[in-house]
Amino acid sequence: MEEVVGAAWHRFITRIANRSYPEAAVQLDEVANLAGPLLRAFGGEPGLRVASAGETRHSARRRLIDRIAATGDKTTHAALDSETLRLPERIALFPERARNRELYLWLIALAGEVSRQPLSAQPAAADAPAPSARPDASLWARARDIARVLVMMRPIEWDKADTRTHAARDAWLQLNQQAVAAVLARYPGLAARYRRLVDAHLAQRPDPAKLPPDEAAAEQAIRAALLTPGSVTALPAATRDPHPVPLWLMPALDTPPPQPLHAESEAEDDAQPGNEANAAVRERKQARREELPDGRDGFVLPFRAESLLSWAEYVRVNRAADEGDEDAASAAREMDTLAVARGGETSTAKVRFDLDLPAAAQDDLPLGPGLAFPEWDWKRRALVDDRVRVQPMRARHASNTELPEALRRAARRLRAQFSALAPQRRWLRGQQDGPELDLDALVRWQAERAAGCVQPEPGVYAAPVRAARDLTCLVMADLSLSTDAHVSDTHKVVDVVRESLLLMGEALDATGDPFAFYGFSSLKRNHVRVHTIKEFDEEYDGAARGRVQALKPGYYTRMGAALRFATKVLGERPNAMRLLLLLTDGKPNDIDHYEGRFAIEDTAAAVREAHRAGLRPFCVTIDREGADYLPHLFGPHGFVVIRDPQELPQRLPQLYAQLTAG
C-alpha cells in the first residue's frame, strides 16, 4: 500500500511542479533535417555536427514546490565545442509550439555566429589570463578559456572570493551578448523572433523583487543583457547560480578520446567489437577517469563517512559485454558525472570473431607490400605523412561467372541505351587521300573544270574517323561491415552493391569508356583493404564478374585513405575527364579514433586533393542522413542520396550518363 500511495504522490507532486508544456513540445528529431544546413547557412563550420545535449545540475534558487517534488535542479544547455553543436533533445519551455521551434532556430543561428571563429584553435594554457583580460581574442578562444575555468561545465556555484569564477561568469555573459548582437546585426530579420523569445522567457524568470539582494542584482543584469545585448559587462557576485538562460550557449571543451591506463592495453581496447557502436552516444555526460574499485578494501579503517557518496555512485558497467543492461543505463542517466575505469578482467572470449582478420590461407591475395598515404589531422590543420597503409588485394577464390539471370534483362536494356554513347565512325570528306573517293567533291571539281575555271586539284577522298570520348571512370565501393545489413527480406546492402557493379560494368562496357572497379574496408590505419575488382587495362569478362560476386562485407570505413588510393590510380590516366564515383552507405569511421570530426575532415581533405589532381569526385550514398554531412565533403552538387537502396542498380548507370553528358 505504501508503494501505491508513494507512486501516486510522486505523480501528483511532479505534475504540479512541472513548468514545461508537453503538449507544445518540439523534438530535436523534428528539426534535424534543417539543423545542419541552417548551421552552415548561418556561418557555422561545415564540419560541425548536431547532436542532443545531456542534462546538467545547477544550484539556482528553486521554488518551494520544486524542492518538495525534488525537481527543477537540472537543465539542458545548448553547448558548442569544436566538433558538435549540442541542442536539447526536446524543448517544451513555452506554451506555443511555434515559439519552441523558434528557440531551436535561434540557437542554431547563435552557434553559427560563434563558430565563425576558428574552432580548431589550440586550447590556452592552464595559467592563461582570464578571458575578460583579452578583449582582442576570438569568441571561440574565449569560450575555450571559460570552459577550462569551469572544469568541463560542472555545476557552477559562484564564489564571491574566487577571482577565476568572476572572470569566467563575466566572459560567459559577454560572449553571449557579443554573439547575440552579431547575429542581430548580420540578420536583421531575426530581431522580431528574438524579441518574442526574450519576452516569453522573461515572463518565466524569477521576480528580482522576491530574491535576496545579491541574486536580485545578478538577475537584473541578465535581464538587461537579454533586452539590450552588449549593455552589461559584468555579472554581480551571488551565492547561487543565476537562473538558466535557454537563449544562450554554454561553451564546452572538446572531450578527448579516453586514453588507456596502460600502454600495453591499447591494442586490446581498439579490438573491442562494441567500439563502433559506442561512438554514437546519444546523450553527452561529464566524465572522469578513475581506477576501478576492487571491492576488497571495503570499510577498512581509517574510515571517512563522506566516502559513502562515492560508493553510492559506483555502478559496474562493462561496456564491451553488458550493452543490454537497462538498470545500468538508467543509473547512468541519473548521475551528474560518470567515472570511467578499466576493468581487470579480459573479454577475449566475448570478442566477435567476424571482426578478426581471416587466416592468410583464407584471406584475399595481397598485391605487393602495400602503399603509404598521409592523413589529415584537422586539429593541427596538417597532413601527417605515411600515417595510413593501404593494402591492395584480389579475391582468392573468385571464378569466371556469367551474369545472373535476374539481371540479364536489365543488362540488355542498359547495353542498348549505352551503346549510343559509344564512339561512332564518321567520314571526313575533302581529304587529299583516303580509302574511298568523295564523289560530291569529285563531281563539283569536274564541273568547274568543264566550265573553264582553272582550279588546283582539291581533296577528292573520304577518310573514316571515330568520334572520341576522352573520359574514364573509377568506381570505389564501400564494403564495410554495415553493408551486411538487410534492406529487404531477400537482399542485403552488399547484394545491392554487387548488382550495381554488375550492371554498371555492362553499361560502361557498351560505351567503350575505360573504367575500373575497386572496393574498400579498413581495420585501423595500418590495414586499409582495397579489393581490386577490375583494373583499367583488364577486360570486363567472366573473371571480373566473378570478383564482383566474391565481394563480402569487411570491417570499417576509412574513407579518406580509400579516396587517396583512387586519386593516385585515376590521376595516372591521360584522359581529359576522370570521374571518381564513391558508393557508400554511411559516414567514414574506424576504431582507432577515426570517427566524428576527425574522419569527416580527413575525408573532406581527400576530396580536395582529388579536385586538385584534376579529378571529378562524386558520391552516391544510401545513407538517409547523408545530406547533413556530404555537402561539406563533396560540395552541394557532388553527391546524391538514394532513398531506396534497391534502386541503386538502376540509378547508378543513369547517374554516370548524366555526369558525363557534357
User: Could you list the mean pLDDT of each consecutive 10-residue stretch along the chain, which spans 662 residues?
Assistant: 78 74 89 84 81 78 75 79 85 91 91 68 38 42 54 41 61 84 90 93 89 89 91 83 85 46 36 36 50 50 44 46 49 58 46 53 82 92 93 89 90 86 64 74 76 70 68 93 88 92 92 92 93 93 93 92 96 92 92 89 95 94 85 90 88 87 68
What is the SS3 assignment for 407-436? Answer: HHHHHHHHHHHHHHHCCCEEEEEEECCCCE
Q: What is the pLDDT of residue 662?
A: 60
Farthest-apart Cα atoms in the chain, separation: 129
392 burial via Cβ count (<10 Å: 0-12, 13-18, 19+): buried
* pTM score: 0.69
| Pair (617, 553) in one structural domain | yes
Q: Is 258 within the bounds of a domain? A: no
| Pair (120, 206) in one structural domain | yes
CATH number at residue 538: 3.40.50.410
The DSSP code for 263 is: G
Q: How many Å separate Cα 163 from the centre of its chain?
A: 39
Contact 299, 352 (CB under 8 A): no
Q: How many Å separate Cα 648 from the centre of its chain?
A: 22
| Pair (598, 478) in one structural domain | yes
Q: What is the pLDDT of residue 292?
A: 52
CA distance 356 to 270: 12
Three-point CA angle 157, 163, 167, nearest 5°: 85
| Pair (318, 377) in one structural domain | no
Q: What is the pLDDT of residue 280?
A: 36
Q: What is the pLDDT of residue 120?
A: 42
| Pair (374, 494) in one structural domain | yes
Q: What are phi and psi of 302, to 5 degrees?
A: -75, 145
| Pair (373, 433) in one structural domain | no
Grid coordinates standing for 111? 552557434
Cβ count within 10 A of residue 286: 18
Q: Is 271 within the bounds of a domain? A: no
Grid coordinates standing for 57? 545540475
Q: Is 358 within the bounds of a domain? A: no
Q: What is the pLDDT of residue 448?
A: 75
CA distance 192 to 298: 61
Cβ count within 10 A of residue 493: 22
Q: Is 542 within the bounds of a domain? A: yes
Grid coordinates standing for 245? 538562460
CA distance 256 to 74: 25
Q: Is 256 within the bounds of a domain? A: no
327 is in which domain, residue-wise? 287-343
Point out the domain boundary residue: 228, 251, 274: 251
Question: What's the structural domain count of the chain?
Answer: 4
| Pair (135, 230) in one structural domain | yes
| Pair (392, 451) in one structural domain | no
CA distance 434 to 340: 82
Q: What is the pLDDT of residue 269?
A: 38
| Pair (450, 500) in one structural domain | no
Distances (CA, A) of 237 to 33, 242, 508, 647: 41, 10, 72, 63
| Pair (618, 512) in one structural domain | yes
Distances (CA, A) of 4 to 7, 138, 241: 5, 56, 36
Q: What is the pLDDT of residue 153?
A: 38
Q: What is the pLDDT of residue 490?
A: 84
Q: What is the pLDDT of residue 476?
A: 96
- Ranges of H-type helices in 118-162: 139-149
Q: Which amino acid is residue 501, in one-letter code?
A: L
Q: Is 231 within the bounds of a domain? A: yes
Q: What is the pLDDT of residue 321?
A: 42
| Pair (22, 161) in one structural domain | yes
CA distance 442 to 429: 11
**DSSP 3-state assignment of 310?**
helix
- Nearest in space to 158 (alpha carbons), one of 81, 63, 222, 204: 222
213 burial via Cβ count (<10 Å: 0-12, 13-18, 19+): exposed
| Pair (21, 137) in one structural domain | yes
CA distance 167 to 149: 9
Model confidence over 505-547: pLDDT tens digits? 999 998 888 999 999 999 999 999 999 999 999 999 999 999 9
Grid coordinates standing for 247? 537563449
Q: What is the pLDDT of residue 350?
A: 38
